[in-house]
């Protein structure tokens, strides 16, 4: 072999060695040889980048609940304008203080909004101007209970007029329907990623019989009806609210029947029970995970007596947490405050007020009254003190 060939082979050998060394260095960049004191050789492999872990999705909605819109003749007469229409805006305007903080806003339309074409009427068989509904819609209310002992006051036509009115509003109503098919339709809404519905029922209709074959006009509850309706709705929503027109008028203590029904509703899986009919405030309680407002009292009315002029606003935070396909609902921070229907002698100048708006000349010992009725609410244990809406 000549010298030139020998040099060529040597160069090939050197190049091959360099490639081998380079390859070993690349491998050593990933694999590290460690030799402990005992002489054993262990191989430590650099771990791969960590896989991002799933995080819970948290969504919230705020709910506020107001009591009975009981529109006596004096109330709507006071709202009549020079043009012959009705405007309740100023009467209810104080609610603007708190409503903007809430996503869901409930009230009980105690008197039927059959409208002026049927002729307005007061106690004992009410029919009210639809302009009151306009005011409540302008305030942002979007949950309305229609089942109560006055639903049938002016018969089927007033109900149909009312339902026609509500069908053109941005509100979820419950408790009164135009047909059995209408009643069987489950109305589910969604806000902030939270699916919800409202059901509504009354104990009766003041002795006015529900027309045979038209039981859909108003929900007069039985235990079986409650169980069937709730079972149908429970799996379709995150939050199930049930409005109950129940109890005994003008008493601050829930009756045994109210408590029995509340426990039944809680056992059936209802999240929030919203009570009306007593026309006075009653306690707010937890029944396991169910929030129960036994009675919100009157929102607006011409009833006499301080205890019937004091009403309750209640609020709660709804939180939906979703993790790996599973959702959980939590109710927290239940809170409440009192309002008062102010009017002058002769039932004029109706104005809903918070207690810090009331003059001493309008209500003696304002804050003593506040404490007296506030204690009724907080004695239920769910709300520790008033205020904070």
Q: Is the distance from CB of 283 to CB of 383 less than 8 angstroms? A: no
CA distance 351 to 354: 10
The average pLDDT across 47-75 equals: 91
**Distance, C-alpha 356 to centroid of its chain:** 26
Q: Is the distance from CB of 270 to CB of 239 less than 8 angstroms? A: no
Q: Is the distance from CB of 108 to CB of 295 less than 8 angstroms? A: no
Per-residue pLDDT band for 37 (boundaries 50, 70, 90) equals: very low
Per-residue pLDDT band for 45 (boundaries 50, 70, 90) equals: low
> What DSSP string runs through 29-91?
HHEEEE--TT---EEEEPPPPPPPPP--EEEEEEEEEEEEE---HHHHHHTB-TTS-B--HHH
The pLDDT value given to residue 388: 85
Asked whether the predicted pLDDT for residue 9 surpasses 90, the reply is: no
Strands 326-344 and 348-354: antiparallel
Q: CA dihedral in degrees (139, 145, 150, 154; nearest 10)?
A: 80
pLDDT tens per residue, range 133-173: 999 999 999 999 999 999 999 999 999 999 999 999 999 99
Per-residue pLDDT band for 51 (boundaries 50, 70, 90) equals: confident
The average pLDDT across 262-271 equals: 98
Of the candidates 187, 223, 217, the one whose C-alpha atom is nearest the C-alpha of residue 205 is: 217
Angle at which helix 223-234 crosses helix 256-267, to 10 degrees, equals 30
Contacts of residue 375, defined as CB under 8 A and 6 or more positions apart, other chains included, come to none
pLDDT tens per residue, range 316-347: 999 999 998 899 999 999 999 999 999 999 99
The average pLDDT across 27-41 equals: 44
Strands 272-276 and 290-293: parallel
The residue ranges of every structural domain in the chain are: 3-44, 57-378
The pLDDT value given to residue 12: 54
- The percent of residues in the chain predicted with pLDDT above 90, rounded, is 85
Asked whether the predicted pLDDT for residue 258 surpasses 50, the reply is: yes
- The percent of residues in the chain predicted with pLDDT above 70, rounded, is 88
Burial of 25 (0-12, 13-18, 19+ CB in 10 A): exposed
Asked whether the predicted pLDDT for residue 380 surpasses 80, the reply is: yes
Lookup: tokens for 317 = 């935070």
pLDDT tens per residue, range 16-26: 544 554 554 44
Please report the beta strands in the chain, taking only residues with DSSP state E, as ranges in sequence order: 31-34, 42-45, 57-69, 104-108, 143-145, 172-174, 189-191, 194-202, 239-245, 272-276, 284-287, 290-293, 298-300, 310-323, 326-344, 348-354
Dihedral of alpha carbons 314, 317, 367, 377, sign: positive
The pLDDT value given to residue 276: 98
Q: Is the distance from CB of 226 to CB of 259 less than 8 angstroms? A: no
The pLDDT value given to residue 313: 98
The pLDDT value given to residue 53: 78
Of the candidates 160, 136, 162, the one whose C-alpha atom is nearest the C-alpha of residue 68 is: 136
The average pLDDT across 28-47 equals: 48
CATH topology of domain 57-378: Purple Acid Phosphatase; chain A, domain 2 (3.60.21)
The pLDDT value given to residue 54: 83
Per-residue pLDDT band for 15 (boundaries 50, 70, 90) equals: very low
pLDDT tens per residue, range 182-239: 999 999 999 999 999 999 999 999 999 999 999 999 999 999 999 999 999 999 999 9
Total residues belonging to the chain: 389
What is the CB-side half-sphere exposure of residue 232 using CA atoms within 13 A? 15
Of the candidates 293, 289, 255, the one whose C-alpha atom is nearest the C-alpha of residue 276 is: 293
The average pLDDT across 35-42 equals: 49
């Amino acid at each position: 072999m000549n010298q030139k060939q020998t040099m060529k082979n040597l160069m090939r050998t050197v190049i091959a060695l360099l490639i081998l060394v380079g390859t070993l260095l690349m491998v050593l960049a990933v694999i590290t040889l460690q030799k402990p004191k005992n002489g054993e050789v262990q191989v430590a492999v650099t771990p791969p980048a960590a896989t991002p872990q799933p995080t819970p999705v948290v969504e919230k909605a705020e709910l506020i609940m107001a009591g009975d819109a009981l529109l006596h003749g004096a109330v709507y007469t006071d709202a009549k304008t020079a043009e012959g229409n009705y405007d309740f805006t100023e009467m209810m305007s104080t609610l603007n203080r708190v409503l903007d903080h809430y996503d869901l806003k409930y009230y009980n339309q105690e008197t039927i909004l059959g409208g002026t074409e049927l002729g307005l009427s007061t106690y004992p068989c009410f029919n009210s101007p639809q302009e009151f509904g306009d005011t409540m819609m302008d305030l942002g209310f979007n949950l309305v209970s229609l089942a109560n002992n006055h639903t049938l006051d002016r018969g089927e036509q007033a109900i149909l007029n009312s339902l026609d009115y509500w069908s053109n509003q941005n509100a979820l109503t419950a408790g009164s329907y135009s047909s059995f098919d209408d009643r069987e339709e489950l109305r589910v809404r969604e806000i902030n990623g939270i699916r919800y519905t409202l059901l509504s029922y009354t104990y009766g209709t003041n002795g006015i019989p529900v027309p045979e074959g038209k039981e859909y006009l108003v929900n007069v509850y039985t235990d079986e009806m409650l169980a069937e309706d709730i079972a149908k709705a429970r799996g379709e929503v995150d939050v199930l609210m049930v409005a109950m027109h129940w109890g005994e008028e003008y008493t601050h203590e829930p009756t045994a029947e109210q408590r029995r029904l509340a426990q039944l509703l809680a056992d059936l899986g209802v999240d929030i029970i919203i009570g009306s009919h007593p026309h006075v405030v009653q306690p707010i309680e937890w029944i396991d995970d169910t929030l129960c407002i036994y009675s919100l009292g009157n929102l607006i009315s011409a009833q006499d007596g301080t205890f019937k002029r004091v009403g309750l606003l209640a609020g709660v935070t709804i939180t939906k947490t979703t993790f790996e396909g599973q959702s959980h609902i939590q109710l927290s921070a239940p809170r409440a405050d009192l309002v008062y229907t102010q009017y002058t002698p002769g039932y004029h100048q109706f104005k809903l007020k918070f207690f810090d708006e009331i003059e001493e000349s309008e209500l003696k010992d304002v804050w003593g009254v506040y404490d007296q009725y506030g204690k009724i609410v907080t004695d239920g244990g769910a709300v520790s003190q008033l205020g904070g809406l």
